[in-house]
């Protein structure tokens, strides 16, 4: 078969869809494949938090750039994407976390992001249902939330309007080094470049991809409009989410456009089952009730699990893989795949067509992953 | 002879025999719209056994309470169609 596509994207999660959008808009002929529906794996399981995070300068650069792209796109998003600029409110529970707020505010501001320190009084005015013992917070007002599967669908529809082709229900069995994919029925399709955007499924298709599934639980309540006004996260999250060795939970709640409340979060390695871990779920809900005691009286409609594609150094893998210059990666975004999808799409398209990226791309290059630091399970 | 008790439904007083399930009391009182879906459509009891949540009403200020799993109580204040 002759090469008919410039790029074949494997995976129609939000990252693959964003890459399809940007590549097709840049004039490339794109085919996007997924074994399931659009946004059916990590994308559909996630919260949909457009958050800027400052764990590292590279992470801040990527999340800040991505949020700018989301804010630019916001006006075009249809109502069912449920984009709401509710802001992120990082909650300080003790003096140490309050000190961290004072350091972090200048980090955000120096990156060009609005950031505001809230004293205890302002915090409780903003979020009246928080535990009165909470000491203060850091408000990042331009952060947002959205409904991820519909956002992915919107991006892939935009890609199709630029000529991209979408095939769902099509499994990819193998990615060839010379620029081809073998499908479940044994047929193959060629392209100038294959982009592996298969999230947690990426390592099965490309060797030396240090991505491991990191399990999480989420709970969604009935509608309680106004109970939560911002996406709120405990500052202790910065400690718990960093722990790569043990299971952890953190207070993380999000107001949905419907008035429902999403409650997270948990992080767990080494459990790839789809089943709910009730011990961890209990810890997660106890943490939520510690920060917002009235949560215990709310009615829950559904609880589920999902998997974040995590890398050892907390940065995604964006660009040519180690195996071939015809096989590229866009995966490993862990819990920031929704947030940073638009930036990933833009950087991938920039690299392919030779435009100058707006932020340095080296920190996300798969080439940083040498044999020595590849995670072996 | 069974005891009776009085509750309030959307501000109106309703007297029922003790032991009456709230969903039944509401239906007897002519309530057809127990709650609204997220898109504003009317909803009422479907499964009658606490699974579907379609019969949810507000009881004493608490949202989303399943009326089919609740016995009427003296002085209970019920709001429907929310």
What CATH code is carried by the domain that includes residue B45? Answer: 3.10.20.30
When scoring B64, B65, B69 by the number of chain A Cβ atoms within 10 A, the one with the most, hence best to mutate, is B64
Rounded to whole angstroms, the Cα distance separating A14 from A40 reads 10
Q: Which residue of chain B comes nearest to A227, CA vs CA?
A: B63
Site of tokens 């994407």: A81
pLDDT in tens, B47-60: 999 999 999 999 99
* A265: preceding bond cis by omega (within 30 degrees): yes
Supply the range of the domain harboring residue B30.
4-79
Comparing CA positions, the residue from A366, A357, A359, A360 lying closest to residue A316 is: A366
With 80 as the cut, is the pLDDT of residue A3 above it? no
Average pLDDT over residues A62-82: 98
C-alpha distance from residue B81 to each of A305, A319, B37, B57 (Å): 32, 53, 10, 7
Taking the Cβ of residue B62 and every Cβ of chain A, the question of whether any pair is shorter than 8 Å is answered with yes
Q: Average pLDDT over chain A, rounded to whole?
A: 94
- Inter-axis angle of helices A14-25 and A337-353, nearest 10: 30
Taking the Cβ of residue B53 and every Cβ of chain A, the question of whether any pair is shorter than 8 Å is answered with yes
* Residue A9 near residue A345 (C-beta atoms within 8 A): no
Asked if this assembly's ipTM is beyond 0.85, the reply is: no
Q: In the Cβ-directed half-sphere of A40, how many Cα atoms lie within 13 Å?
A: 11
CATH superfamily of A88-141+212-310: D-Amino Acid Oxidase, subunit A, domain 2 (3.30.9.10)
With 50 as the cut, is the pLDDT of residue A376 above it? no
Region of residue A77 (phi > 0: left; psi between -120 and 50: alpha; otherwise: beta): beta
Q: What is residue A357's DSSP assignment? A: P
Rounded to whole angstroms, the Cα distance separating A12 from A190 reads 18
Q: Does B63 contact A299 at a Cβ distance shorter than 8 Å?
A: yes
With 80 as the cut, is the pLDDT of residue A243 above it? no
Average pLDDT over residues A277-298: 97
Q: Which pair of tokens denotes residue A262?
A: 């999403």
pLDDT the model gives residue A37: 98
Neighboring chain A residues of B65 at a CB cutoff of 8 Å: 299
Comparing CA positions, the residue from A290, A337, A298, A294 lying closest to residue A318 is: A337
Query: Topology of A5-46+148-211+313-373 in CATH?
Result: FAD/NAD(P)-binding domain (3.50.50)
Nearest-neighbour CA in chain B from A223: distance (Å): 8
Average pLDDT over residues A262-270: 95
Provide the domain count of chain B: 1
Neighboring chain A residues of B38 at a CB cutoff of 8 Å: 223, 258
pLDDT in tens, A128-179: 999 999 999 999 999 999 999 999 999 999 999 999 999 999 999 999 999 9
Domain with CATH 3.30.9.10 in chain A: 88-141+212-310
Neighboring chain B residues of A261 at a CB cutoff of 8 Å: none
Rounded to whole angstroms, the Cα distance separating A263 from A78 reads 25
pLDDT in tens, A297-332: 999 999 999 999 999 999 999 999 999 999 999 999
Comparing CA positions, the residue from A248, A247, A214, A167 lying closest to residue A337 is: A214
Domain with CATH 3.50.50.60 in chain A: 5-46+148-211+313-373
Question: What count of CB pairs under 8 Å joins A to B?
Answer: 15
pLDDT the model gives residue A237: 73
| Nearest Cβ partner for A258 among B38, B62, B63 | B38
* Main-chain dihedrals φ then ψ at residue A190, nearest 5 degrees: -105, 155
* Residue A241 near residue A334 (C-beta atoms within 8 A): no
pLDDT the model gives residue A1: 45
Comparing CA positions, the residue from A300, A42, A250 lying closest to residue B64 is: A300
Q: Does B53 contact A258 at a Cβ distance shorter than 8 Å?
A: no
Comparing CA positions, the residue from A224, A308, A346, A354 lying closest to residue A13 is: A308
Q: Which residue of chain A comes nearest to B66, CA vs CA?
A: A299
* Residue A360 near residue A31 (C-beta atoms within 8 A): no
Q: Does A222 contact B65 at a Cβ distance shorter than 8 Å?
A: no
Grade residue A244 by pLDDT with cuts at 50, 70 and 90. low
Q: What percent of chain A is modeled with pLDDT above 70?
A: 95
Grade residue A293 by pLDDT with cuts at 50, 70 and 90. very high
pLDDT the model gives residue A377: 38
pLDDT the model gives residue B81: 87
Q: Does B64 contact A299 at a Cβ distance shorter than 8 Å?
A: yes
Neighboring chain A residues of B53 at a CB cutoff of 8 Å: 222, 301
């Amino acid at each position: 078969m002759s090469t008919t596509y410039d790029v074949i994207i494997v995976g129609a999660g939000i990252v693959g869809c964003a890459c399809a959008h940007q590549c097709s808009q840049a004039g490339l002929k794109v085919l996007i494949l997924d074994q399931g529906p659009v946004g059916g794996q990590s994308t559909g399981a996630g919260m949909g938090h457009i958050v800027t995070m400052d764990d590292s300068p590279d992470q801040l650069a990527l999340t800040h750039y991505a949020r700018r792209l989301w804010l630019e796109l916001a006006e075009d998003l249809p109502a069912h994407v449920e984009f709401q600029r509710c802001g992120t409110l990082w909650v300080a529970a003790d003096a140490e976390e309050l000190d961290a707020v004072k350091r972090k505010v200048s980090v955000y501001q120096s990156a060009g992001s609005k950031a505001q320190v809230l004293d205890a009084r302002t915090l409780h005015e903003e979020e009246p249902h928080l535990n009165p013992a909470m000491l203060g917070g850091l408000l990042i007002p331009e952060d947002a939330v959205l409904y991820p599967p519909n956002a992915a669908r919107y991006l892939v529809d935009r890609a199709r309007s630029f000529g991209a082709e979408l095939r769902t229900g099509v499994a990819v069995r193998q990615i060839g080094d010379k620029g081809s994919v073998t499908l479940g029925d044994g047929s193959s399709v060629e392209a100038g470049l294959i982009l592996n955007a298969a999230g947690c499924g990426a390592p099965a298709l490309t060797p030396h991809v240090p991505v491991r599934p990191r399990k999480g639980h989420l709970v969604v309540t009935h509608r309680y409009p106004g109970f939560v006004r911002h996406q709120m996260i405990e500052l202790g999250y910065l400690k718990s989410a960093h722990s790569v060795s043990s299971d952890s939970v953190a207070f993380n709640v999000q107001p949905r456009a419907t008035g429902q409340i999403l409650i997270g979060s948990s992080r767990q390695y080494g459990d790839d089952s789809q089943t709910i871990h009730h011990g961890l779920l209990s810890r997660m809900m106890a943490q939520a009730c510690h920060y917002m005691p009235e949560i215990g009286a709310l009615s829950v409609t559904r609880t589920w699990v999902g998997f974040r594609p995590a890398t050892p150094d907390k940065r995604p893998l964006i660009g040519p893989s180690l195996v071939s210059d015809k096989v590229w990666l866009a995966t490993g975004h862990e819990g920031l795949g929704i947030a940073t999808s638009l930036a990933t799409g833009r950087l991938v398209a920039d690299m392919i067509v030779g435009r100058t990226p707006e932020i340095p791309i080296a920190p996300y290059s798969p080439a940083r992953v040498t044999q020595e630091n590849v995670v072996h399970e | 002879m069974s005891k009776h008790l009085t509750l309030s439904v959307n501000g109106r007083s309703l007297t029922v025999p003790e032991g009456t399930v709230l969903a039944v009391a509401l239906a007897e009182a002519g309530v057809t719209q127990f709650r609204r879906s997220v898109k504003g459509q009317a909803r009422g009891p479907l499964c009658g056994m606490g699974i579907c949540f379609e019969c949810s009403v507000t009881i004493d200020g608490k949202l989303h309470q399943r009326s089919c799993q609740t016995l009427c109580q003296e002085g209970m204040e019920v709001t429907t169609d929310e």
